[in-house]
């Protein structure tokens, strides 16, 4: 039973860390877009960064979702 509890505790921590990271990213999007203003280079860099973060988040969700 101890091993199962340790595994569950680890998984909950990993999920909590992922959720905290996603929340911070989402909450900061509007401010970062405002800061970029109308500078096409800054907006392009921000768009690329968000796409990369989307890919990481999607992979993490997929990896941590049990098969049906």
Is residue 22, in this structure, part of any structural domain at all?
yes
Q: How many domains does the chain fold into?
A: 1
Confidence of residue 18 (pLDDT cuts 50, 70, 90): confident
* Residue 35 domain-assigned (yes or no): yes
- What distance in Å separates the CA atoms of residue 20 and residue 68, rounded to the nearest whole number? 26
Q: What is the pLDDT of residue 38?
A: 84
| pLDDT single digits (tens) 26-68 | 778 878 888 888 888 988 888 888 888 878 878 877 887 777 6
Evaluate whether residue 6 is within a structural domain.
no
pTM metric for this prediction: 0.50
Domain hosting 25: range is 15-63
pLDDT above 70: residue 11: yes
Query: Does some domain include residue 24?
Result: yes
Q: Is residue 50 assigned to a domain? A: yes
**Residue recorded with tokens 């990993």:** 14
Which residue's entry shows tokens 């941590």?
64
Q: What is the pLDDT of residue 68?
A: 66
């Amino acid at each position: 039973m101890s091993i199962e509890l340790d595994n569950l505790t680890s998984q909950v921590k990993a999920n909590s860390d992922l959720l905290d990271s996603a929340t911070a990213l989402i909450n900061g999007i509007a401010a970062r877009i405002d800061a970029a203003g109308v500078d096409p280079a800054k907006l392009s860099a921000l768009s690329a960064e968000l796409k990369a973060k989307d890919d990481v988040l999607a992979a993490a969700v997929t990896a941590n979702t049990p098969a049906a």
